[in-house]
Amino acid sequence: MSMMTAAQYEESLRKLDLVVYMFGERIDNVVDNPIIRPSMNAVAMTYELAHKPEYRDLMTATSHLTGERINRFTHIHQCREDLVKKSKMGRLLGRKTGCCFQRCVGMDALNALSIVTYDMDQALGTEYNPRFLAYLEMVQRGDLVCDGAMTDPKGDRSLPPHKQPDPDMFLRVVEKTAEGIVVRGAKAHQTGAVNSHEIIVMPTLTMREADGDYAVSFALPADAKGITYIMGRQSCDTRKMENGKLDQGNIRFGGHEALVVFDDVFVPWDRVFMCGETEFSGILVEKFASYHRQSYACKVGVGDVLIGAAQTAAEFNGAERASHIRDKIIEMNQLNETLYCGCIACAAEGAVEPSGTYCVQTLLANVHKQNVTRFPYEISRLAQDIAGGLMVTLPSEADYRSETVGPLIEKYFRTREGVSTEARMRILRLIENLTLGTAAVGYLTESMHGAGSPQAQRIMIARQVNMNEKKRAARNLCGIEETDGKNQD
């Protein structure tokens, strides 16, 4: 078994026959498309770092199936240390790329399925877990990128799947044969979809008995017949098509999302991991969501970049010694490190499941993600405050390179001695990118809605908190008898 290099990963994508649309036209060469390419570069970093000796411990692991060295993104967590290293890996890659590197969703899907397929087999006598383990070994041996696909369009959210006017608003099984199943529907907001070798589909919510056709989980090659990708737009995305890179801010990396449409796609039985077991659909959603909420250690890494950019902008402006600037930088660091505390805590408090897979502590994972929905917005606000209004009023790179007006920009946007105008423009564009541009999708909006909306985490927090234990502690300290009061345990 050998892990792919970044170059081998890029070559593997060129072999895929994906059906991808953007701006109303089909894209024949996804890998070299200037808008998509930066997102591919970000995934490639997960391969590049795995081959660097200084990152080997974080980026790789030992397969519990084969005993061989594998990329950690294809690993099933075997102990608490694996969960801690996952968080450290996410922060490292967030700092290296300044964006979403797109492999966490697939990793979290693999780990959730390793638990739930085992539990289903034990409870129902099914044979999903052996299928899954065979699939997992294939993923590990190929060092493949998996897109975890959970979110359905949902249609009218007041109605369950089987009562939707259009039944395709949730992905469903439309036919079963001796060879497999046929599915129809779509998965929305799929991060890194066209940079993936495989798509792992899961139900998006707890299904009831009437919604049995929607309780389905399976995996397919990304270029399976009948799958179409429609690329999502991002703010400032067409800047990547312009001459020069300065206005992009992050000149190397980026992310992407897509709507993935399944038009009567065939799935062989050996790639089906749930089919109608509604009683386990909610458990799969919960396990995946808990893992993925821990994965937002990546936002800490991106926060590192934004804090560094804000500090640099202050220094370029000659304002770094101002007390209010120093206080804002301290506040940004405090918020960012608090996020890091959350993802490490839910890892450290994790426990082993019956399948042998280690899972995060669900309550702390949801608390961590709830903080992620808030703190990056405040960090971004402070960064914009420090950067100043020039961040959004800068002329374009084309104007800066102009023989006519370029010298005027050079003259009037110079700052302290030793700092070039171009360097100042570059750091301001990076802050713009992280807080308003293409990277803001992966840093801000994804912080809000990724791994479920803020309300989803609040619901889980309410379920997980042991209020009776808290009440008993309070009553005991002030001498209230257990029989007193109306609210009894």
Distance CA 156, CA 161 (A): 9
Q: Is 206 annotated as a binding residue?
A: no
Distance CA 406, CA 247 (A): 15
The helix or strand, by DSSP H or E, that contains position 459, with its residue range, turns out to be helix 454-464
Distance CA 263, CA 243 (A): 38
Distance CA 3, CA 25 (A): 35
Neighbours of 418 (CB within 10 A): 7
Per-position b or e across 67-88, b if 16+ CB within 10 A of its CB: eeebbbbbbbbbebebbbbbbb
Length of the chain: 489
- Which are the catalytic amino acids? 100, 104, 191, 257, 292, 296, 298, 446
* Tally of CA atoms within 13 A in the half-sphere of 271 that contains its CB: 20
Distance CA 233, CA 259 (A): 11
Task: Read off the tokens for 65.
Answer: 């199936």
Question: Are the C-beta atoms of residues 257 and 189 closer than 8 Å to each other?
Answer: yes
Report strand pairing: 216-221 vs 272-275.
antiparallel
* Tally of CA atoms within 13 A in the half-sphere of 361 that contains its CB: 16
Q: Which residues are part of a known binding site?
A: 191
Q: Which residues are part of a known binding site for FAD?
A: 191
